[in-house]
């Protein structure tokens, strides 16, 4: 980053408010496992990290059970929420994050469908760790950082549990909007055995906007049913050795008796849904139809006197069904559209070792190991056509990460990872797809091949504890990314896979920041930049009606900040702000809204008027981003339309009595009429994304703990 830009960034950050975190946890040392694969104090991590604890998750659940909403509010640098089931366009500092559950990838980077964030119920999450910037510690798909859902651990007692029931409905127009959410979990520890089990079911009514109309169904939540079943079993062999098995099942499908009335960004009309009185609906229910995650973990904390070992094997089966789209039509073959599904099966084996070394004034930690992964991903259409052929990837990586604590004040981190990837694709034929009778893509027979990639990436970071109050840091990290190979293959215009520009992208990420801690006040700032020689943008081809990949170099830069202040034991406040921008370095043009989100500001106030009662108020502001000009006819295309600012206020509260807790939350308290940033900027699918945001919606329920 140029010095002038960096100075402006830091100056702007210094006067900007940022994210609220729970100050009551100040007296307990916060630890994370995501950044280095072992437990370490967050004060020793020289990168920007956001940790969302269980108390914050529970407070958000009083308003909404949607993880994307929670993350958008709590994580500076993460793109604005869009009120849907998809995280398409939800980037972290302008690049795609890797979503994980206990370290197991949920994203499908070979064909990124943007559904990984919504992969389990928030009631089974203990905390969420977000590490920002490119990272090679977990391999492919983490160009923007990592979002890791850490699931609950067993209670210390022999048996404990909780159950809740709640209802969510529109306060603008109640008709058909009421839904019911039920959830329960039990856990316990007895002798060497521990267990956690949880189940939830969320049945929704229709989602209504601020005018009382039903929101559009594309990636919608109206009349959807979400189910989650979670089990974690542990057995301690002795004081240092343990086994753990985890299984998570998640499905969340929309089977709505609704049909969209399409609006348009260009003429200012909104998209909304009406009851389907005929047979105008198409296809199967959209959403995850049944995603399975398995993990078996063995831990030995005393492999040698100073070395611990963790071995885990995991498997995953994903089937994510998308909405019916008329752009997948082929009139010659009798198809008036189509519905695609991303299928992905992963099998992985990981060996991780952690060695502690001590010298007179130096404490060293070495983390090293091997990762093996097989990922088979494709994107067929439900009618039998194959849109993205099966991609069979084998990956083997070795890594070494080191941390050096020098004199208790300096923390130095350095690491290297070497990854070898083989990707096999058989011969295939691209689809003929028609936007209308006269605009069709040209099908192509493509010769398959086995592609091989070798990538070595490095990271170097430094943090200095000036005193108990000030701690600056700087870091440089790289990530190797072959994300969204499927998008490249399905739009091939050559007859040999070897001629398609499938090279891996190396992302270079730079960051400087400062953390400050006082008795009742925390403040942090960070400025960042990332570059890559190959990007993932698309350009519209008017001759075929298809958005084709353009792999030109990309640069993103920005800044973010966070603060909290505790006025008293009963009153605390916080805020967060983030700004990110990006450009195509070949053309000098700004990147579109699929990659870059507008500025975001969040302020939160938490008040505990009684020992057993609390209230929380959240103000969520999304700023303007108007970087592009319309075409000669004054119309917008792709994801280039302007975004105008909007504001949303949420309110929640709870009251506890014995083992009972009564709670309520109101989303969009002031019934603001707005379009999300994605709805304003995206013109895809004939205006299907242009739904107005959620109107005032009430969520109320009761929780019982035993």
| 3-class DSSP state of 158 | coil
Least confident range from 137-151, 317-331, 377-391, 668-682: namely 137-151
State pLDDT tens for residues 655-686.
Answer: 999 999 999 999 999 999 999 999 999 998 77
Confidence of residue 549 (pLDDT cuts 50, 70, 90): low
Tell me which of 444 and 617 has the higher pLDDT: 617
- Domains along the chain? 3-165+331-350+357-662+678-705 (2.40.170.20)
Tell me which of 237 and 549 has the higher pLDDT: 237
Residue 540: pLDDT above 90?
no
Confidence of residue 438 (pLDDT cuts 50, 70, 90): confident
Tell me the average pLDDT of the chain.
Answer: 89
Residue 698: pLDDT above 90?
yes
What's the confidence (pLDDT) of residue 96? 85
Q: What is the distance between the alpha carbons of residues 115 and 342, in angstroms, rounded to a whole number? A: 10
What's the confidence (pLDDT) of residue 3? 34
- DSSP letter assigned to residue 526: E
State pLDDT tens for residues 119-143.
Answer: 899 999 999 999 998 877 777 778 8
State pLDDT tens for residues 290-312.
Answer: 899 999 999 999 999 999 999 99
What's the confidence (pLDDT) of residue 22? 37
148 contacts 223 by C-beta, under 8 angstroms: no
Q: What is the distance between the alpha carbons of residues 38 and 34, in angstroms, rounded to a whole number? A: 7
Least confident range from 196-205, 254-263, 610-619: namely 254-263
Angle at 449 between CA 443 and CA 454, to 5 degrees: 125
What's the confidence (pLDDT) of residue 543? 57
Give the burial string for 62-77 (b: 16+ CB within 10 Å, else e). bbbbbbbbbbbbbbbb
State pLDDT tens for residues 480-520.
Answer: 877 678 888 888 878 888 777 777 788 999 999 999 999 99
Our separate counts of H helices and E strands in the chain read 6, 39
Closest CA to 350 of 390, 296, 301, 403: 296
Q: What global pTM score does this model have?
A: 0.90
Percent of the chain with pLDDT over 70: 92
What's the confidence (pLDDT) of residue 321? 93
Percent of the chain with pLDDT over 90: 70
User: DSSP letters along 511-524, please?
Assistant: EEEEEEE-SSEEEE
State pLDDT tens for residues 15-66.
Answer: 333 333 333 344 445 788 887 788 888 888 999 999 999 999 999 999 999 9
Element (H, E) at 687: helix 684-687
Residue 314: pLDDT above 80?
yes
Tokens representing residue 200 in the block:
């939830």
Tell me which of 528 and 281 has the higher pLDDT: 528
What's the confidence (pLDDT) of residue 29? 57
Tokens representing residue 699 in the block:
């969520």
Q: How far is CA 385 from CA 317, 340, 433, in A?
A: 21, 9, 11
Residue 6: pLDDT above 50?
no
Confidence of residue 13 (pLDDT cuts 50, 70, 90): very low
Q: What is the distance between the alpha carbons of residues 240 and 515, in angstroms, rounded to a whole number? A: 35
């Amino acid at each position: 980053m140029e010095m002038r830009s960096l100075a402006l960034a830091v100056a702007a950050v210094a006067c900007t408010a940022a994210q609220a975190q729970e100050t009551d946890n100040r007296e307990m040392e916060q630890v994370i496992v995501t950044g280095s694969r072992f437990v370490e104090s967050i004060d020793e991590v020289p990168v920007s990290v956001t940790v969302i604890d269980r108390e914050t998750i529970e407070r958000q659940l009083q308003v909404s059970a949607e993880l994307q909403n929670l993350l958008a509010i709590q994580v500076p640098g993460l793109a604005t929420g869009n009120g849907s089931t998809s995280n398409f366009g939800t980037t972290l500092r302008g690049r795609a994050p890797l979503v994980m559950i206990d370290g197991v990838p949920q994203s499908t980077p070979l064909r990124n469908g943007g559904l990984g964030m919504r992969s389990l119920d928030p009631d089974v999450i203990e905390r969420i760790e977000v590490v920002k910037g490119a990272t090679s510690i977990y391999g492919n798909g983490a160009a923007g950082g990592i979002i890791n859902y850490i699931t609950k651990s067993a209670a210390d007692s022999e048996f404990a549990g909780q159950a809740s029931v709640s209802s969510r409905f529109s306060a603008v127009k109640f008709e058909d909007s009421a839904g019911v959410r039920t959830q329960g979990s039990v856990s316990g520890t007895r002798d060497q055995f521990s267990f956690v089990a949880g189940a939830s079911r969320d049945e929704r009514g229709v989602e209504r906007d601020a005018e009382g109309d039903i929101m559009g169904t594309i990636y919608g939540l109206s009349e959807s049913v979400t189910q989650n079943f979670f089990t974690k079993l542990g057995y301690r062999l002795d004081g240092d050795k343990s086994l753990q098995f985890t299984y998570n099942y998640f499905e969340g499908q929309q089977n709505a008796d609704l049909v969209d009335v399409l609006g348009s960004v260009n003429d200012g009309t909104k998209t909304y849904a009406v009851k389907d009185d005929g047979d105008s609906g198409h296809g199967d229910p959209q959403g995850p139809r049944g995603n399975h995650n398995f993990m078996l973990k063995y831990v030995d904390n005393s492999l040698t006197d100073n070395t611990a070992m963790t071995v885990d094997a995991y498997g995953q089966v994903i089937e994510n069904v998308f909405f019916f789209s008329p752009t997948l039509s082929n009139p010659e073959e009798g198809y008036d559209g189509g519905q695609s599904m991303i299928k992905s099966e992963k099998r992985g084996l990981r060996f991780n070792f952690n060695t502690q070394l001590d010298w007179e004034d130096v404490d060293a930690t070495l983390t090293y190991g091997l990762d093996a992964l097989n990922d088979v991903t494709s994107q067929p259409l439900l009618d039998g056509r194959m849109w993205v052929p099966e991609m069979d990837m084998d990956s083997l990586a070795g890594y070494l990460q080191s941390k050096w604590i020098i004199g208790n004040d300096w923390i130095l981190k350095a690491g290297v990872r070497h990854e070898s990837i083989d990707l096999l694709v058989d011969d295939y034929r691209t689809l003929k797809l028609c936007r209308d009778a006269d605009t069709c893509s040209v099908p192509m027979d493509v010769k398959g091949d086995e592609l091989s990639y070798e990538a070595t990436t490095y990271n170097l970071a430094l943090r200095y504890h000036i005193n108990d109050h000030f701690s600056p840091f700087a870091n440089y990290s790289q990530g190797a990314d072959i994300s969204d190979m499927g998008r490249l293959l399905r739009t091939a215009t050559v007859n040999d896979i070897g001629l398609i520009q499938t090279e891996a992208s190396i992302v270079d990420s730079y960051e400087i920041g400062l953390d400050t801690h006082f008795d009742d006040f925390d403040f942090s700032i960070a400025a960042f930049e990332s570059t890559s020689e190959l990007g993932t943008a698309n350009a519209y081809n008017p001759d075929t009606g298809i958005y084709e990949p353009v792999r030109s170099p990309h640069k993103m830069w920005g800044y973010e900040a966070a603060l909290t202040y505790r006025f008293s034991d009963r009153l605390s406040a916080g805020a967060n702000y983030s700004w990110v921008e990006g450009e195509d370095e070949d053309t000098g043009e700004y990147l579109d809204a699929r990659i870059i989100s507008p500025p975001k500001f969040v302020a939160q106030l938490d008040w505990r008027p009684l020992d057993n009662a609390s209230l929380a108020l959240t103000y969520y502001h999304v700023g303007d981003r108007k970087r592009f000009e319309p075409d000669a006819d004054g119309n917008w295309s792709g994801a280039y339309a302007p975004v105008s600012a909007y504001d949303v206020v949420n309110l929640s509260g709870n009251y506890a009595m014995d083992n009972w807790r009564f709670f309520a939350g109101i989303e969009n308290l002031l019934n603001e009429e707005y379009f999300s940033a994605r709805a304003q900027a995206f013109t895809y699918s004939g205006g299907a994304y242009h739904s107005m945001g959620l109107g005032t919606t009430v969520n109320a329920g009761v929780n019982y703990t035993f």
